[in-house]
Structure formats: structure tokens, C-alpha cells
Amino acid sequence: MMTITRGESLVGIIVADHRAVDEVFGELENGTGSAGHRRALMDHVITELVRHSVAEEQYLYPAAREKLADGGRIADHELKEHAESEKLLKQLEGVDPSDPEFDRLGRKLISDIRHHIEDEENDLLPQLSKACTIEELDDLGKKVLMAKEAAPTRPHPSAPDRPPANMILDTGIGMIDRLRDVLSGREQ
């Protein structure tokens, strides 16, 4: 997996997250490994996607709303995709990897997330890169990294996805999720 270093810009961090998740998608798509290994891969993807989504919802989309002429429309579209993906993540949490539903839901998730990545990398991130200064992008990158560290690790489809409510609740939910992960033996 790609290591993110502090000081990278928002765009670099978001793209690195995309590549890391897509790498795990490739492992899931090849279908090899024990059921336990596939469960661990999916749990890892779920954790990373939730953390990534929370950080985007706290900082990327508000920046788009502020800086881009059509930022509200773009952010609303991305939030809608996040909500749909989070429902899939929640479903995947409870499905045994030997159940055919695991593969069906996994394929849908992979397809949806790859579409989402394409949208962000071909539309939102280039626009935001032009609209923000290097300093603003670096500051947003630092904030995204901090948000990911405190973010929930499990999907919560009914949690708020816009500031300020998400910024207040996400940290507390994240603490509870990490405690649940430790108690259940779920790897990060």
C-alpha cells in the first residue's frame, strides 16, 4: 500500500487513497485466498473507504462548494454517491465471504467506487487544483489526514455527511468504532 507523508497536497492524498483501494480491489477481483483472507481484505477496504469518505465530506466537498462555480452541484453528486456506497459497505459487513452475495455486492461496490474515482480525478480534483493556491491545497491535505485518523472505521449510513454536524459526530463515532475493532479482533 502507498504511504502518505505529511505535507502532501489534498490532490496527492486523495489520489493515493484511490490507488491503494484499487490495489485491494484487484486482490478481491482475482478471487483467490481463503474466505478469511477475503473477509480481511473487504474489512480493510470498508475501513479505508469510510475513513476516506469522511475526510472528503469534512474538507473536500466544502472546499468545492466554496471555490467552484458549480461546486454545490458537484459536491451534492459526490455525496449522493457516498451515501449509495455506504449502504453497500454496510451490507457487505454482514455477508459471509462464502456466500455468493459477497461477490455480487463486492463487484457492485468496486464498479461504483471506480466510477466515483473517475469522476473525482477527471472533474473535481482538476477544477479544485486550478481554483486553490498550493498553500490552500496543502492545508486541506493536512486537514484530510487528521480527519482520517479520527474517522469512523465502519459504515454509518444514517450519520450526517455535511459540516458542522459530521465534524462534531465523526470523531466520537470513530472512537467507538476503533474500540469495537479492537474488541472484535478486526484488523485495521
Tens digits of residue pLDDT in 24-62: 999 999 988 899 999 999 999 999 999 999 999 999 999
Q: Establish if 23 belongs to a structural domain.
A: yes
pTM summary value? 0.91
- Region 67-84: what's the mean pLDDT? 96
Q: Establish if 188 belongs to a structural domain.
A: no
- Predicted pLDDT at 79: 96
How many domains does the chain fold into? 1
**What is the average pLDDT score of the chain?**
92
Q: Establish if 4 belongs to a structural domain.
A: no
Q: Establish if 25 belongs to a structural domain.
A: yes
- Region 92-107: what's the mean pLDDT? 95
| pLDDT higher than 60, residue 69 | yes
How far apart are alpha carbons 153 and 168 in whole angstroms?
A: 16
Q: Establish if 3 belongs to a structural domain.
A: no
Say how many C-beta atoms besides its own lie within 10 A of residue 82's C-beta: 21
- Predicted pLDDT at 2: 35
- Predicted pLDDT at 32: 83
- Predicted pLDDT at 99: 95
- Region 162-184: what's the mean pLDDT? 86
Q: Establish if 5 belongs to a structural domain.
A: no
- Region 68-86: what's the mean pLDDT? 96
Q: Are 147 and 168 in contact (CB under 8 A)?
A: no
Q: Establish if 126 belongs to a structural domain.
A: yes
Least confident window among 53-67, 87-101, 157-171:
157-171
pLDDT bucket at 169, cuts 50 / 70 / 90: confident
Q: Which of 116, 13, 123 is nearest to 70 (CA)?
A: 123
- Region 87-91: what's the mean pLDDT? 96
- Predicted pLDDT at 40: 94
Helices (H) and strands (E) counted in the chain, each on its own, are 8, 0
Q: Establish if 1 belongs to a structural domain.
A: no
- Predicted pLDDT at 43: 95
- Region 135-148: what's the mean pLDDT? 96
Of all residues in the chain, the percent with pLDDT exceeding 90 is 77
How far apart are alpha carbons 58 and 128 in whole angstroms?
A: 15
- Predicted pLDDT at 188: 64
Domain that holds residue 78: 10-183
